[in-house]
Structure formats: C-alpha cells, structure tokens
Copies of this chain bind each other. A is one copy, B any other.
Amino acid sequence: MNSAIRLHTKEHIATIEHYKQALSLLSWDAKTSAPLNSQKQHATIQGTLSKELYLLQTDPAFAKELQHLQEQNLNQLQQKQVQYYWNIYQKLSAVPLEDYHQFSVLKASTHALWSQAREQNEFKLVEDNLQQLIHMLKRFAEYRNPHLAPYEQLLEEYEPDVSSETIDSLFQQIKDAILPLLTKIKCSSVTHDTSFLNKSFSIKNQQKLGKHLLTAIGYNFKSGQIGTTTHPFSAGIYSQDARLAVRYDEHNVKLAAFMFLHEGGHSIYNQQISSDLLDTGLGAYTSMGLHESQSLFWERIIGKHEGFWRNHAHLFKELEPAIYGDISFETLYYALNEVTPSLIRLQADDLTYLLHIIIRYELERDLFSDKLCVSDLPSAWNTKYEAYLGIKPETDRDGVLQDGHWYGGAFGYFPSYNLGFIYAAQLRESMIKDHPDFDEIISSQNLSLIADWQKQHIHQYGKLKTPKEILTSLSIGRIDAQPLINYLKKKYEGLYKL
C-alpha cells in the first residue's frame, strides 16, 4: 500500500470535523434560536466542545503521524490534508493552552462589552479590553513567528499570500480611482426620488422576495435554510447544510434584498464544495477573500445588473403593489444602484463600500504597528470618514462601535471584503472569456451557467486549491485591482452619465 493515510488517522480527522460541524451548528443556534437567558450556558457548552476540539487537533500521537506522513508518497488530497492539519497543529501548539483560554474569555467578554458600549454609545467602556486583545494577538504572533510582523500573520489567517504591502498598493489604486469618481457623481445632474425604498415593506413580503431571489440564483433549499438574526451570516456547516441568516427592517427592503443575495452567494459556494471532501478537513472555502468574492459576485455584480432586475423587478410590484405599482423600471434600477456616502457599511453602494473597508483596514494596520493608539481610535475613525466620504459620524455607535469584528478579536479580517470584490471583478473577466454572452446570460431567466462555472473552477475544490492556484488555473495570474476599477468606472459613469 502506497502510504495512504491510515484508518485511525482518517477517523481522528473525521472526529475533528464532526466537532467543528457541531460547533458550527451550536453557533447557528446561538445566533438564530437560543433564548436570551441561555446565552451564558450556551457559551459554556461551546467552550467544552472547543476544548475537546483543541485537544484533538493538538493530540501528540496525531501530530507524530502527520509528521511521519509528510515524508511519505501521498496523493494530492492527502498531501493537502497533512499540510492543513500540520499548520493547525503548529499554530495551536505554539501558544500555551492557558493563553488560549485567557484569550477566549477575553474575546467573549469584550464582545459582550462592545454590545453594551454600542448601546450606550460609550467607547470608553470597551477601550481597555480592546487594548488587551491587541496585546494578546501580538503575543500569539510572537510565539508563532517572531520574524513575521503580527499584522502580517493576522492577514495570512484570512487570505494567504497577500501581504499588507500588496493590500496598501491595491487599496491606494482603488482610492485614486474611486475618490475622483465620487466627486464627479456628486456633481452629476442625474437624480431620482428613491424614498419609496424606505416605505413599509412587510417582513413577510421581504421573506418572499428573499426566497424568490435565492431560488433565482440557484440556492438549494434542500441543503440549507433561512434564519433570522441580528448580524447576517452564512453557516457552511457542510455542503449539504449551508444555511444563511438575515435581518429585516420593515423600512429598508434594499438592505434585505442585497443581504439575501450576499449570503446566498456565500451559501452557493458552501453548497457546491465537492461532497467527496466531507470530513476530510478540506471541505470548506479556501480563503475568506475568495469566499467574499463569491458573495459579492452575486450581491453586486449579478445582483446590481440591469438585466437581472429586468427579470425580477416584477417581484416588488407584485409584493407591494401600492408602493411599486407606479415606479418605472429605470427609477427602481437607479434606486438599487444609487451612490450615496453614508455612515453604515452594511448598506453601502459599490463605491463607498470599498472606502468603508479601506478606512477599517488603515486603522487596524496602524493599531498593530503602534502608529495609532486605541484611545485615539474614535477620532481617527471620524477623521477618515470625513476625508474619504465627506461625512462624519455624530456618535461612536455609527462610528468606531459600528462593527463587532475587532471586539471579537478579528483583526486582519476586514481587508477580505475588498479583496473579495477585487477577485470578483477578475473572475468576472475570466467568466466573460468563457461566456462572451455573459450579459445575456444574466438577462435570461436561467443563471445556472454562472453557478456551474463557479463550481467547476472554484467551489468544488474546497481547500484543495489555494486562491493563488485558482487564479493560476484561470490564467488570471495574480490579484489586481484594475478589472474592478474598470468595471466600476464603466458602470457608474453610465448610470450617472459622466
């Protein structure tokens, strides 16, 4: 036998994956179903399973076997598996268990404090904790690799092979293109009354709209379901169970519509991972940036396309005829694409979205290189909003306390959103090479060609291919902001007749 992974190792790996899946289900439950009073105990249960997961992943016999396997003649799947678990082993075992425990308690309490701070609009409440989180993340990085800057290590966790130097350059290109474009749009004479989007659109009808849109883009309801939550998310528990949770605001149907498309995009990625990879460790998205590229592709490239809405505008009219009966297609299409600088990331149009992320990236990068103090974070946030978007939060609730990522210890995560948008535009160009009738496909009732292409080139592989390998296989070469800039310029210059 050609040194295949031994049965007990395979079983050990499957057990690890079952714990990850169970934790993912528990986290879904905590965010969608669990009652208020259960929060503390729910976290305790998750803590017990997480500890077992930690022990399984750092088991010395398992590590020894992984080391042994590295020297063997393995097939591609096995090689990737060994590499994947070996990386996890090294990352976990580099940090003392006591530190992990301290960190997980700190994360939970800081995130809870953030909720409070946000409610009370009081950054001071959470300042010290945030400082400690950053301090601990730096210490972890020091344990793992004293020769690589902490922030680079954090970035790597979400997007391998993309350094802050690359991100700096990509984001500078984007700023150079988007900022002047925004100025021109401000001066454009094109404008419509879009207030109809904020009229009461019943939650029940928003749910119906969402189901229609998800069906249209190819989400499989037999392998997923929709939940309700405060902070929308997708749970790719495994490919046969890819759920999404959204939130509703009766006076903001646009938020729901694009959220369904966004989370639907994530979920289609999750659903289209080959089921052969189940319980191998590789049956998950390859990177956060790639994952985000798929949700943004469906939300922004397909979901904001004129042809797509030619097919779906009737849903608005049918569900809320009193509001949409008299709205022309052009006005609706404009409203869905309107560019307006605003303070809230989740509701942002394509252009300002990129700036929302750049602001967060620049701030966290500076925090980790000690160019910015935590105590100065709120004012630095406001200054950047003023500089890039021309508006300034009146309260920290709409400013530095807006997103929970940092307060849950997720630094290096934000850039994935923009990297995803950049990838999405590159993938769009690649798709057009294979399907020169790309626009007609989107304008037709049948979008399955799009999802099929994604499955064939990206989704099915799970972690079998890195983002770099996927780009290479599509002759894309490397991450490049130009396709995104070209796409946005052409689209918005058209919309605003610039």
Please report A residues at the B interface, Cβ cutoff 8 Å. 14-15, 18-19, 21-22, 25-26, 28-29, 32-38, 40-42, 44-45, 48-49, 52, 220-225, 227, 237-238, 240-241, 243, 278
Given A34-B241, A223-B35, decide whether A278 and B41 contact each other with a Cβ distance below 8 A: yes
Whether B33 pairs with A45 at a CB distance below 8 angstroms is no
Whether A37 pairs with B225 at a CB distance below 8 angstroms is no
Q: Which residue of B lies closest to A15 (CB)?
A: B48
Q: Which residue of B lies closest to A46 (CB)?
A: B22
- Cross-chain contact of A241 among B35, B227, B278 (Cβ < 8 A): B35
Whether B26 pairs with A45 at a CB distance below 8 angstroms is no
Given A25-B26, A25-B29, A29-B29, decide whether A240 and B37 contact each other with a Cβ distance below 8 A: yes
Q: Which residue of B lies closest to A204 (CB)?
A: B204
Given A29-B29, A42-B241, A241-B42, decide whether A22 and B49 contact each other with a Cβ distance below 8 A: yes
Residues of B within 8 A of A37 (CB): 220, 222-223, 240-241
Lowest 4 A-B CB distances belong to which pairs?
A38-B241, A18-B48, A37-B240, A37-B223
Please give the count of copies of this chain that the complex contains.
2
Report A323 CB to chain B, min CB distance, Å. Answer: 22
Question: What's the dominant secondary structure at chain A's contact region?
Answer: helix
Pairs across A and B, CB under 8 Å, 22 listed: A14-B48, A18-B48, A21-B41, A21-B45, A22-B45, A25-B25, A28-B33, A32-B33, A33-B225, A33-B227, A33-B243, A34-B225, A34-B241, A35-B222, A35-B225, A36-B222, A37-B220, A37-B223, A38-B223, A40-B240, A41-B241, A41-B278
Residues of B within 8 A of A25 (CB): 25-26, 29, 45
Whether A237 pairs with B22 at a CB distance below 8 angstroms is no
Whether B19 pairs with A48 at a CB distance below 8 angstroms is yes
User: In the complex, A221→B243 CA distance in Å?
Assistant: 25
